[in-house]
Amino acid sequence: MSTVIEGLKTTLKVGLEIHVELATRTKMWTSAPNVAHPDYFNAEPNTLLDPVVIGMPGTLPVMNREAVRMSIKVGLALGCEIARWCKWDRKSYYYPDLPKNYQISQYDLPLVGPGTIDIPINDEPDAPTKSIRITRAHLEEDAGKLMHEAPGGRPIDYSIVDLNRAGTPLLEIVTEPDFDTADQVVMFGQTLRNLCRFLGVSEGIMQQGHMRFEPNINVIIERDGQTYATPVVEVKNLNSFKAVRGAIEYEHGRQVQQWLEDGLVMGPGAKATYGWDDNRLATFLQREKEDAHDYRYFPDPDLLPVEVSSVWLEEIRAEIPELPHQRVHRYVEEYGLDIKQARTITDERGVCEFFEAVVDADVTPHRAAAVLLNNLAKRANERGVLISGLGITPVQVATIEQLRDGNKISSNGADELIDACIEAGSNGDAEQLAEAKGLLQVNDDSALDGWIDEAIGIEPKAAEDVRSGKMAAIGRLVGAVMKASKGQANPKIVQQKLREKLSS
């Protein structure tokens, strides 16, 4: 998308590098526990270590096959080519959180090759899609973490090294510079996050560092028939979509202003690495960007190449479910759901599967979506769980809807019955619970006629008003019937019977 800034035509150009921590139980090159697995996230600093992680002399890495399998699943889901043969390389650099002084990575022969995925360009209901080219995805190990505050947030004048994250399997996904708005980048990021969660390869909790985004940003400027490209800036380690959007939009304006001041364009040595300051909402220079030769890549002598057989590849392909963006399209086209409903339901695989189970139990998709996103979502938020973790089952939800549709319970009764099913758990029969709690409405004519006569006797003035055409008074009579029946009468049928009785 092009914009006009100070008489210049400017076009934003963004490519992405995304680091996805894989949720294997163990690390990439050893059996030490993996901090990206939910069982180990809260481990005390520097407790998920062993001699391989800390780079002790004489230790040898052993590849985590599950990490390779997960990476292939992501590659297939992104429409990428999968290499049948790839190797491991050492990327050498010194940093306090990298004990070995090199990172085992992949350089020229990555596991996942080129591919393409289509995304909506924004979150509007009728947004067109755009093809985003995936350049590659390579598997490597994560580094540790430098902490600039003591545990508990206490300020310190030194840094603490926590190596729990060192050795975590890390899939780095690289795109072509196909984005021209921050909205597109965020939509891609959300699509990728949901895809990884659906595949079960990552928890995708960005605040815990499971996914980190690094946009490579520059601007194409047109003035007086000439075209100029500003130097590329890579913004490091963004772990929220708010930060991703903010950094891209800030850089767009900053780079144009910088070019107006110095005229510097893309060329050798012009690329730089920036950080993002969440407090100032601005980027800041960290260092000039290294080139590949600075890392002194060479094949790792301790590791054999990876060969992916046709049989194994097809086994992995068969494990890939219908993906979130595919389900969104189906929910809108086949079920007629609103696009926002469809995206909300597909944000979590458990919720999505719960929704489909309710639909399979003979609830219309519209009613199933309404119950999930209204009645159940409120309770899930209050309890801090997913809808699928509330305790109520899809069969119970379907039974409640059948009782409501058949006028056997009221809308308020249905809401109360949801709580009863949550409390009872999967062993509770919804209809039996409704009966036990007195929620079943009475539709029997003789019982209703008796309560109606009693109500007319209690509210004669209201009855006379209805006879004379003042229908607003019927509410007092319905209320009297509900009181007489202790809430068991069906109010719709009661109102209908009152109209018939008092109009004759």
Are the C-beta atoms of 373 and 345 separated by less than 8 Å?
yes
Q: How far apart are alpha carbons 115 and 109 in whole angstroms?
A: 15
Maximal CA-CA distance, the chain: 99
Q: Which CATH number fits domain 445-503: 3.40.50.1980, 3.30.70.100, 1.20.120.1200, 1.10.10.410?
A: 1.10.10.410
**Backbone phi, then psi, for 241, in 5-degree steps?**
-70, -25
Q: How far apart are alpha carbons 139 and 158 in whole angstroms?
A: 32
Task: Locate CATH 1.10.10.410 in the chain.
Answer: 445-503
Instruction: Tell me the angle at which helices 460-467 and 491-503 cross, rounded to the nearest 10 degrees.
Output: 70
SS3 content of the chain, % helix, strand, coil (to 5): 40, 25, 35
Are the C-beta atoms of 347 and 194 separated by less than 8 Å?
yes
pLDDT tens for the chain, 504 residues long, are: 667 666 789 999 999 999 999 999 999 999 999 999 999 998 999 999 999 999 999 999 999 999 999 999 999 999 999 999 999 999 998 888 899 999 999 999 999 999 999 988 777 767 788 999 999 999 999 999 988 877 777 788 888 899 999 999 999 999 999 999 999 999 999 999 999 999 999 999 999 999 999 999 999 999 988 999 999 999 999 999 999 999 999 999 999 999 999 999 988 878 899 999 999 999 999 887 666 567 889 999 999 999 999 999 999 999 999 999 899 989 999 999 999 999 999 999 999 999 999 999 999 999 999 999 999 999 999 999 999 999 999 999 999 999 988 878 888 888 999 999 999 988 889 989 988 888 876 555 566 667 676 777 787 777 766 676 767 767 777 677 677 666 666 677 666 667 766 776
